[in-house]
Amino acid sequence: MPAKITHFETHDVRFPTSLTGDGTDAMNRDCDYSSAYVSIYTDSDLVGHGMTFTIGRGNDIVCMAIKAVASRLIGKDTEDLFADMGKTWDWLLADPQLRWIGPEKGVIHIATGAVNNAIWDMFARKREKPLWKLVADMSPEELVRSTTFRYITDVITPEEALKMLKAIESEKEEREQKVREIGYPAYVTSAGWLAYPDDKIARLTKEALAHGFNHFKIKVGADQADDLRRGKLIRSLIDDPSLLPAGTPRRDVNSADLKGKNAGPTGSVLMIDANQVWDVQQAIDYVKGLEAIKPWFIEEPTAPDDILGHAAIRRALKPYGIGVATGEHAHNRMVFKQLLQADAIDVCQIDSCRLAGVTEVLSVLLMAKKFGVPVCPHAGGVGLCEYVIHLSLIDYICISGSMERNVLEYAEHLHEHFVHPVSINDKGRYNVPTDPHGGYSIEMRKASIAEYEWPKGSYWVGAKGK
């Protein structure tokens, strides 16, 4: 039955993670994980939820931008929007006055991401499927129609994308069944925040090993000697076979999923993340000094917009067996296009809401497939894990056809605030969302909004907030 959009609500929700050091890195040392959250309502019981992630102050500005973008949807027929999601995305970004303050970057772009994600959430709920399943069940033609190709046709055209999708279409059901059975591979960030003391790092690393994880990431960039010490601490734990769960099969470090990742004797992999703190030469010199801890890659070694800087860092670190990853602050598909064109990255790290929603994410997944670069999404923030499991499933089932080398970030924070939280199995893998009413898994609990909405939520007006 048709439904028209009648109104929307925004919520500025902030969690006091700065009190515990969660999310701390060399660039961002005072993080209150926050959600600029939107719910879009219709004249039926159909609702769509979306959000974008920030780390505190300025979240209210993003909410204001969301209101400006979402107001254009009032009166629109939802089925008209769902019929061509690529066209809907193009229209959503076509307001000339809002576009002017981007274009397609900054606050207005991440606000558009929240709104586009809410439309996709609504679409999936209407079809009574999880978001990933909605897209997995699309024909290649419909998936291409749901993607934006503006400004990237010099790298990939709709016709090219369609050919790529059709080439692996026949095995879609087999891949879906496989990932439902074993889960999607994950890596853990929660043990490696910069402000954590050694005893907490050791405890959390051991807990992650016991849970089946074999990929770990730590934050670096404040002090090279201290990073080397912390890295050696984690290495000593993840390379210790006695800490692996009983019955864990021996991992072949030369297998397809571990080859070139600097895996240790147990098959465990370490990654490092500098969160943009260095200039180009600084990054090269600093990371060379961490060669002893054998990182697979350095993430965000320099400014996220510096494509040629990333390329230079990658060339300089290649002889050391260390790759380069970036993308969580790549603000649109054109940045990813250039990173791929310049051979600047070994790992593509999309962000579910810095890009302007699912439609733009699809374009990056298609480009990464063409260039043969694995996609390992960023998920270190509130709601991001809930979002990105859907994106990784879409990538595996529909686009890349591979998950052997891919690992999806997992941070163990704030999942309890969502109606459909993610979960991890005992092999360190994401479980596949299956609730037909879960949509994009981003619906926040009303009680959490009431408690943590800024500035009048019960937490912020109470003694803790003061």
DSSP state of 8: E
Interatomic CA distance for residues 159 and 411, integer angstroms? 38
Asked if 219 is an active-site residue, the reply is yes
Which contacts qualify for 59-62: CB closer than 8 Å, 24 or more apart? 59/12, 59/13, 59/14, 59/34, 59/35, 59/454, 60/12, 60/454, 61/107, 62/36, 62/107, 62/110, 62/111, 62/114
Asked if 99 and 93 touch (Cβ cutoff 8 Å), the reply is yes
Residues 6 or more apart in contact with residue 421 via CB below 8 angstroms: 386, 415, 441
End-to-end CA distance of the chain: 48
Catalytic site residue from 11, 211, 219, 331: 219
Q: Residue 220 burial by CB count (10 A; 0-12/13-18/19+): exposed, middle or buried?
A: buried
Which contacts qualify for 202-209: CB closer than 8 Å, 24 or more apart? 202/233, 202/237, 205/234, 205/237, 205/238, 206/237, 206/243, 208/428, 209/237, 209/238, 209/243, 209/244, 209/245, 209/268
337 is written with which tokens? 């296009």
Of 225, 304, 231, the residue nearest 262 (C-alpha): 231
Residues in the chain, total: 466
Interatomic CA distance for residues 35 and 390, integer angstroms? 19
Interatomic CA distance for residues 43 and 196, integer angstroms? 48
Catalytic site residue from 310, 337, 378, 413: 378
Asked if 217 is an active-site residue, the reply is no
Asked if 92 and 72 touch (Cβ cutoff 8 Å), the reply is yes
321-347-302 Cα angle (round to 5): 80
How many CB atoms sit inside 10 A of residue 460's CB? 16
Residues labelled catalytic: 219, 378
